Chain A
Amino acid sequence: MRAIPDAAQPRRGYSLPDAIVFALTAAGAVLMLLPFAWMVSTSLKSPAEVFAYPVIWIPRQPMWSNYAQAFGIAGFDRMFFNSVFIATASVTLNLLTSSLAGFAFARLRFRGRDILFALYLATLMIPGQVTLIPVFILIRALGWYDSYAALIAPSAVSVFSAFLLRQFFRSIPPDLDEAARIDGAGSLRIWWQIALPLARPALATVAVLSFLGSWNDFLWPLIVIHSRDLWTIPLGLSMFQGQYAVQWHLLMAGTTIAVLPVLLLYAVGQKWIVSATAVATRGNA
């Protein structure tokens, strides 16, 4: 049964409860934004203004040079490229493996499917810390230490993505594949020509989520990356934290550089996230 979108309903104007809800929601939104505002504001402050009281929200003279310094000290251009490259490669591989697996679990009938699916779900519960050391040793054994592959390969497969896509594929009416099979289409073709195009919103969700996972990861790159040329942005951020002192103005300039791309990405992709999670969570988990 499809839901009728709320927006399709005629609207009579706003009531008093609406106004109260609006005010509370808006106040909450301001609270959510304040930390970001401080991040940006601090990134433009002079060191003296950072620890001024009362809080200075608008620096007397915006120190754009903080950004230049952040780029200059840490070589952010190279790190930016590394982060983008690693995240893009992870997303591509992740989409491929997860959509194949999700499709198989949702639409193909084969012996052992449910057991395998249970196995998948079980791995979802493995805390990442359990596998940290063994995976590190494995990466060394494969000769991938200190390479892009060390960062990309472990994130090429995501159980959560496969799970999400499986939920989505289950919501596609079975009549569609049955009709295609009668026309002589094979499973791969149904996957490619029917399931994937229909699943575009879910794929976008998976893409955004895995991009974020890769972009924001800090611990793993710290462990497997050694060369400065391969540093990612979160690793570069740690540059600002010297041996003793935290330089908040530079730290926040770097943080802004790290956070801005993902916020932009989210601004572009947010409508897919919502519609796809709708289907994903409705598929009788």
Chain B
Amino acid sequence: MNNHARFTAFRWRSDQQWEGYVFLLPSLIGLFVFSLLPVLFSLGISLHEWDLLTPPVFVGLKNFRNLFTQDLIFSEVAANTVFFCVAIVPLQMALSLLLALALTRRLPGAPLFRAIYYMPVVTTIVAAAMIFQWVFDRNYGLFSSVVWGVGSWLNAPLAPPDWFNNGFWARWAVVILTLWKNSGFTTVIFMAGLQAIPRVLYEAAAIDGAGRWQSFRHVTLPMLSPTIFFLAIILIIGAFQLFGESYVMTGGGPGYATMTVVQYIYQSAFSYFRMGKGAALSWVLFVAIFALTLAQWQLQRKWVHYESNT
């Protein structure tokens, strides 16, 4: 019997009916007060023009319509957010998986390495972005120093990228910062997934004559698919909500190169007092994330392998 069947098979227990609600009460109150109510409030705001100082004016769906028909930079920031999503999610996934595979090999010092790779995760994003602002400094930064060092050693005129004056490189600077900052988290989750794969499966695959690649392809990946699915959801949401990394390090520039939807929301609402526009933008973002997650949830049946209990 698989989990799904088991889930629907049990009967509701009357004695647990009220207990369930009592257990949920504290967090439900918090959820209601600090999430649901504000979300509805913000939905209301999105239908108004409101600068916080004068009374709101109801404008219907105008804020939403404007975003898609006449907004001058919405398409730019939306494209950036898609870029970050497409660049960060697969790279972080691949890097973390490789790292997790390496760290589960029982190398000497593996626990130390794991600890080191996780360190950036616990660092505040403001500090991390400030540090990387220096790493990518064209004239004094760590990266340039290394490139010039190698260049003089090879006696070749190597030129480091001008990270913050060039849109292309600025975007990649944000991607690299994000990977540095967050890969440790995904690695730890991958390691947990890897360690939970029963060794008998590998042994069975070996008996069947499977090589390293085949056992990776036919044992590791399927057994990891729930982890990959979970991470895909988390990472895509994270990429859509990217803000601090680019806001602190590049300020969204140069040009519009690293400006994300969330920064646009923040500026519209808090810098230019367009509460309605900000709220509308945040709803567009929310719906986009929601739709993507729903789509993944639907698709998971096709590729996510759940361990059966029988």
Contacts and interface: CB of A to CB of B under 8 A. Distances in A.
A135 B119 CA distance: 31
B126 A123 contact: no
Interface in B37-64: 37-39, 41-42, 45
Given A35-B180, A125-B286, A274 B20 contact: no
A84 to B, nearest CB: 15
List the 8 closest pairs (A to B, CB-CB), nearest first: A157-B30, A278-B192, A110-B20, A134-B38, A216-B124, A104-B23, A131-B38, A134-B41
Contacts of B265: 127, 129
A113 B104 CA distance: 38
A25 B227 CA distance: 22
A149 B128 CA distance: 28
A110 B16 contact: yes
A61 B306 CA distance: 59
Interface size on B, as a range, is 35 or more
Contacts of B306: 284
26 contacts: A1-B198, A1-B307, A3-B196, A6-B106, A32-B180, A52-B140, A55-B145, A104-B19, A108-B13, A110-B16, A110-B19, A125-B237, A125-B293, A129-B243, A130-B282, A131-B34, A133-B278, A138-B34, A157-B26, A216-B123, A255-B127, A258-B124, A263-B122, A266-B119, A274-B188, A285-B229
A4 to B, nearest CB: 5
Contacts of B16: 108-110, 187
Contact of B42 (A119, A133, A248): A133
A11 interface: yes
Given A22-B107, A32-B184, A129-B278, 15 more contacts: A39-B127, A97-B26, A110-B13, A113-B20, A116-B28, A126-B286, A129-B241, A130-B282, A134-B39, A157-B27, A216-B126, A237-B127, A248-B134, A266-B119, A284-B306
B269 interface: yes
B115 A267 contact: yes
Nearest to B33: A138
B180 A281 contact: no
Interface in A112-150: 113, 116, 119-120, 122-135, 137-138
Contact of B11 (A109, A188, A237): A109
Interface size on A, as a range, is 35 or more
Contacts of B233: 285
Given A97-B30, A284-B306, A4 B113 contact: no
B70 interface: no
A236 to B, nearest CB: 12
Contacts of A133: 42, 45, 269, 275, 278-279
Given A35-B131, A278-B193, A285-B230, A216 B125 contact: yes
Q: Which of B10, B28, B240 has the most CB of A within 10 A?
A: B28
A125 B19 contact: no
Given A125-B237, A129-B266, A278-B192, A100 B23 contact: yes
Given A1-B307, A127-B289, A35 B124 contact: no
Q: Helix, strand, loop or mixed for chain A's interface?
A: helix
Contacts of A125: 237, 286, 289-290, 293
A251 B39 contact: no
Nearest to A122: B290
Contacts of A186: 19
A34 B290 CA distance: 38
Given A24-B102, A263-B122, A281-B227, A131 B27 contact: no
B3 interface: yes
A265 B122 contact: yes
A131 B35 CA distance: 7
Contacts of B180: 32, 35
A200 interface: no
Given A234-B124, A258-B124, A6 B282 contact: no
A116 B279 CA distance: 25
B126 A259 contact: no
A281 B118 contact: no
Interface in A250-285: 251, 255, 258-259, 262-263, 265-267, 270, 273-275, 277-279, 281-282, 284-285
